[in-house]
Structure 1
Amino acid sequence: MSTAVRLLYCPRPGTFGVISPGLVRHFSLSVQRGMYKYVNAKELPLDMRSITDRAAQTLLWTELFRGLGMTMSYLFREPATINYPFEKGPLSPRFRGEHALRRYPNGEERCIACKLCEAVCPAQAITIEAETRADGSRRTTRYDIDMTKCIYCGFCQEACPVDAIVEVNSWKSHTLTACQILMALVIREQNFQLHILQLLVYSRVKGFWTY
């Protein structure tokens, strides 16, 4: 809170004088400055060493050469980066990447089309279609994941009762357009093997899948 002090100006006898606004402003700012404490008001040392250092920083740019020396020293150190994509760093064992469907050792597919993963998905990125086989078992005919919606939370992997869907350490799913990031999981003979249709285009007009 600033306090303005208005001083009464008394002219000399026989003269007429009016106090100027600048004088009032000067006293007002003086009162405001007096209310604060300057914590950085540090007096410069006047010894010969301090004077020499300040003169060298001003005239010889010693701080600039110190920074350049620090930069040059990193040229002889081991680099902290790698030459990606020719070199790749290690991934954590708990890394959650692209999705894959598993099989049993006898070749039978694990997915039973219970659609728990589709129900638990917070982003609603999973679409499952199933049909009943001749033996009465229900198996998946379509298992699609829209990677533009997937947040890699891992809920689908935790909700699966038969450990059919997993997230592998593969993460390179870059495409040219957004409609190509629709991952069609195809059950293969080997476990953890993922088949990605890179040129998958969904035709909304015709209503079918074109490859």
Structure 2
Amino acid sequence: MADTNKQGFLEELFAPVAGFGVTFATMFRKVATEEYPEEKRPTQLRFHGRHQLNRHPDGLEKCVGCELCAWACPADAILVEGADNDDASGQRFSPGERYGRVYQINYLRCIFCGLCIEACPTRALTMTNEYELADNNRADLIFTKDQLLAPLQSGMVPAPHPMVQGMDEKDYYKGKVTGATTEQEEWVRAHHSDDDADASGAPADEGKTA
């Protein structure tokens, strides 16, 4: 009987400490915490991050201002305003008739579902792996066209500029254009200046309304 009482006493004495067994055991294991933002885990290839408006190999924009992405968006986060390309005044930003004059995505509303990507008929809109979109200002989370437009790559010249001579809109989407021609480069040097509107085709001081 005495042994039984002694065993029960010991169980009651160490019962509160036994609950910390898991805690004590993990104290000596290797820490698995990631040191973010110093160390960033790479995302998956199909990760849905910040959007990007793509260009053709010569620098013209793929967006034709059709607004299908805005119609497909379930969160009403996209604002698109199309306009006509005008070769007479040198205002050609994309192959074909129209381009996206205004393009905004409100990341306060966006749910990163990717439906806008599926709706785009020209593959102008894709999603990158960039996920660091937090900010302390709501207005800064409304991205405009100049922020979404893909940077110029080697062989590209900034729009507006004429299409490749002898090519039409179909040739662009068939991949026959591989880069800017000498004629396009000369045209850009002759017509672009620091006082022009930015390469997105929208005035630099255009307000955010999305």
TM-score, L = length of structure 2: 0.61
The DSSP-based 3-state class of the residue aligned with 1:209 is coil
Residue 167 of structure 2 corresponds to which residue in structure 1? none
The 8 Å contact of residues 103 and 190 in structure 1, kept in 2 or not, is answered as: no
- After superposition, give the CA deviation of every residue in 1:40-67 in whole Å (9 maximum; x if it has no partner): xxxxxx9956x54432122x2x133333
For 1:182 and 1:71, how far apart are their aligned partners in 2? Answer: 45
Aligned length: 147
For 1:150 and 1:159, how far apart are their aligned partners in 2? Answer: 15
Q: Percent identity?
A: 33
Match status 1:73 vs 2:25: yes
The 8 Å contact of residues 81 and 100 in structure 2, kept in 1 or not, is answered as: yes
Match status 1:54 vs 2:15: no
Q: Shift of residue 70 of structure 1?
A: 3.0
The amino acid of 1:185's aligned partner reads K
Segments ≥4 residues shifted beyond 6 Å: none
Residue 165 of structure 1 corresponds to which residue in structure 2? 125
2:138 is aligned, of 168, 173, 178, to: 178
Residue 195 of structure 2 corresponds to which residue in structure 1? none
* Closer, same or farther: CA 166–47 of 1 in aligned 2, 3 Å: farther
* Closer, same or farther: CA 117–140 of 1 in aligned 2, 3 Å: same
2:152 is aligned, of 173, 176, 189, to: 189
Match status 1:140 vs 2:103: no
* Closer, same or farther: CA 138–153 of 1 in aligned 2, 3 Å: same
- Which one has a bigger Cα radius of gyration? 1
Q: Mark the runs of 5 or more structure 2 residues left unpaired by the alignment.
A: 88-95, 155-204
Residue 209 of structure 1 corresponds to which residue in structure 2? 207
The amino acid of 2:28's aligned partner reads F
For 2:22 and 2:74, how far apart are their aligned partners in 1? Answer: 49
For 2:111 and 2:103, how far apart are their aligned partners in 1? Answer: 17
